[in-house]
Structure 1
Amino acid sequence: MRLVTIDDVRAAEKAIEGFAVRTPLLHAAWAGDLWLKAENLQPVGAFKIRGAANALARLPEGAGVITHSSGNHGRALGYAAARRGVPCVVVVPDTAPAAKVAGIRDTGAEIIMVTPAERFSATERLTAERGLVLIPPYDHPDVIAGQGTVGLEILDQSSDVDTVLVPVGGGGLGSGVATAVKALAPTVRVIGVEPELAADAEESLRAGELIAWPQEKSYRTIADGVRTGLSELTFAHLKARLDDIVTVTEAEIRSATGELARRAKLVAEPTGALTTAAYLRYGSEWGRAAAVVSGGNLDPELLAELVTAS
């Protein structure tokens, strides 16, 4: 299995110009030596635009695309496809947050709602029926390379960073960031973060083999963006390049989401708050840490609940 290289990530950096923005690295002095990579400030509210735009750039002109997504990747692909003037279909599990579904719809993409169990089979069927090109959320080298540009920017913005923290769901972001960071700054640690209630990647990496969790188990977490498990491709990247992986509780995720809004003035969805939650729990071990705030797309009611919670 070929792993993505730093050359792939460098090429992606050029391919996504005009689609993704260079997000700031903000000092969260209230938490210590923590720096927040604010990917929630991307045009689609999440880092996913990087991988989606890079994968789309590799396709022939006019090729229509399809994906399956609980929200952020579908919105990113819909946005990039609209910019290129090509059709986009997004298969969405009916458990996806309403705000994320609305974000996909706003791009003009066609939405197909299915049960979580039908997510992959429906996508496969529609891909064949309509002659579309599948760009999955994470199980694709071009997507991984695009996400790796987050790592390039962090190293450029903070040459003395000790640790980079990334949320882990399907593993595309962690795979890409670890590829970039370990190639350019091998002594910098890259640590993945998962909810305790969706810790299939931690179990897999500890066991040395890919272990899948049933959907009803991983869907318990509030962090909807990391309810999906690793693929063989992302597992291979994380096994080779990730330094460690830790977990946080639901209470810690909720608290960190509120802290980011109140003290950093950043709207983060629970998945985007995973890395801050981990730093607040383990940060004394990590020196200067850059935490990827992966996205900020959440329902207003949930945001209000988490911001006002004590």
Structure 2
Amino acid sequence: IGIAREAGATLRLTDGMDSAFALVKELRDEGLTLVHPFDDPVVIAAQGTVGLEFADDADELTDVIVSVGGGGLIAGVAAALRARRPGVRVWGVETEGAQAMSEALAAGGPVPVALSSVVTTLSAPSVSQLTYDHVAALVEDVLVVPDREAVRGCLDLAEHAKVWAEPAAGCLLPAARQVLARVGGGARLGLVVCGGNATPGEVMAWTERFGLG
């Protein structure tokens, strides 16, 4: 927070993701310019460069798994990959209590969702029509895993891959097991490890809360 303020930014903090999105609408109505985190074709195109890297660098890839919050990252990755490698399957993963895309797919369009997941970086109060349309057209399925398994995934990534990841990325590992069970053991999976925005204290607290110590 201090670094942002020293750089000249004005910060407005809220208690949760619902209130953060509500504040965004208020600020936009006051005349500020919104750079939306996912409901923006330019943002989606920029995030699609991750898909281009997979297409260029990962040989014999059969499946790519991407975490879903509002859907911008998976929309861009899926669009880029399906254009470069039409045979590659793209899968989404959400955590229980942050199921904006899977509920949208069940409803046939974006719907508001109740948020309860500890994975706040996936906790969009709804997806947008733009990201929903991309996922409905390009993504194989959106899987849902418990918070506990997302945190276990963080521990596994740290221990076995030496990668520090937040639960929004940790949820990829239990989802990968689900994908393998569905497509067979010969698959070659790519995981978009999307962030490390968790403190050691947070991970330790989640580990204790879910009995993973």
Q: Which amino acid aligns with 1:232?
A: Q
Q: Is 1:227 matched with 2:119?
A: no
Paired with 1:161 and 1:107, the residues of 2 have a C-alpha distance of 42
Paired with 2:155 and 2:85, the residues of 1 have a C-alpha distance of 32
Residue among 150, 155, 158 paired with 1:261:
158
Q: What secondary structure does 1:183 align onto?
A: helix
In the TM superposition, residue 306 of structure 1 has moved relative to its aligned partner by 5.5
Paired with 1:237 and 1:273, the residues of 2 have a C-alpha distance of 24
In the TM superposition, residue 103 of structure 1 has moved relative to its aligned partner by 7.2
Which residue in the other structure is 2:106 paired with? 206
Which residue in the other structure is 1:164 paired with? 64
Is residue 67–residue 93 contact of structure 2 (8 Å, CA) maintained in 1?
yes
Deviations 1:33-81 (A, max 9, x none): xxxxxxxxxxxxxxxxxxxxxxxxxxxxxxxxxxxxxxxxxxxxxxxxx
Gaps of 5+ in 2: none
Q: What secondary structure does 2:13 align onto?
A: strand
CA separation of 1:105 and 1:297: change in aligned 2, threshold 3 A: farther
CA separation of 1:122 and 1:198: change in aligned 2, threshold 3 A: closer
Is residue 151–residue 203 contact of structure 2 (8 Å, CA) maintained in 1?
no
Q: How does 1:118-129 map to 2 (within 5 A)?
A: 118-129=19-30
Paired with 2:6 and 2:167, the residues of 1 have a C-alpha distance of 22
Which residue in the other structure is 2:197 paired with? 297
CA separation of 1:141 and 1:102: change in aligned 2, threshold 3 A: farther
Q: What secondary structure does 1:238 align onto?
A: helix
Paired with 2:203 and 2:6, the residues of 1 have a C-alpha distance of 20
Identity, % of aligned positions? 35
- Give the length in aligned residue pairs: 205
CA separation of 1:281 and 1:243: change in aligned 2, threshold 3 A: closer
In the TM superposition, residue 203 of structure 1 has moved relative to its aligned partner by 2.1
Is residue 70–residue 100 contact of structure 2 (8 Å, CA) maintained in 1?
no
Gaps of 5+ in 1: 1-100
Paired with 1:107 and 1:236, the residues of 2 have a C-alpha distance of 37
Residue among 134, 149, 157 paired with 1:252:
149
What is the root-mean-square deviation of aligned Cα atoms in Å? Answer: 2.3
Is residue 138–residue 234 contact of structure 1 (8 Å, CA) maintained in 2?
yes
Deviations 1:234-286 (A, max 9, x none): 11111111121111112211111110111111110111112122113443434
Paired with 1:266 and 1:107, the residues of 2 have a C-alpha distance of 29
Q: Which amino acid aligns with 1:256?
A: G
From the two aligned structures, give the one with the greater strand fraction: 1
In the TM superposition, residue 144 of structure 1 has moved relative to its aligned partner by 0.5
Paired with 1:124 and 1:306, the residues of 2 have a C-alpha distance of 32
Paired with 2:132 and 2:108, the residues of 1 have a C-alpha distance of 9
In the TM superposition, residue 167 of structure 1 has moved relative to its aligned partner by 0.4
Query: Normalising by the residue count of structure 1, what TM-score does the alignment of the two structures yield?
Result: 0.61
Structure 1 stretch displaced more, 101-110 or 259-268: 101-110
Query: Normalising by the residue count of structure 2, what TM-score does the alignment of the two structures yield?
Result: 0.86
Q: Which amino acid aligns with 2:204?
A: A
Is residue 261–residue 307 contact of structure 1 (8 Å, CA) maintained in 2?
no
In the TM superposition, residue 105 of structure 1 has moved relative to its aligned partner by 5.2
Deviations 1:76-99 (A, max 9, x none): xxxxxxxxxxxxxxxxxxxxxxxx
CA separation of 1:106 and 1:182: change in aligned 2, threshold 3 A: farther
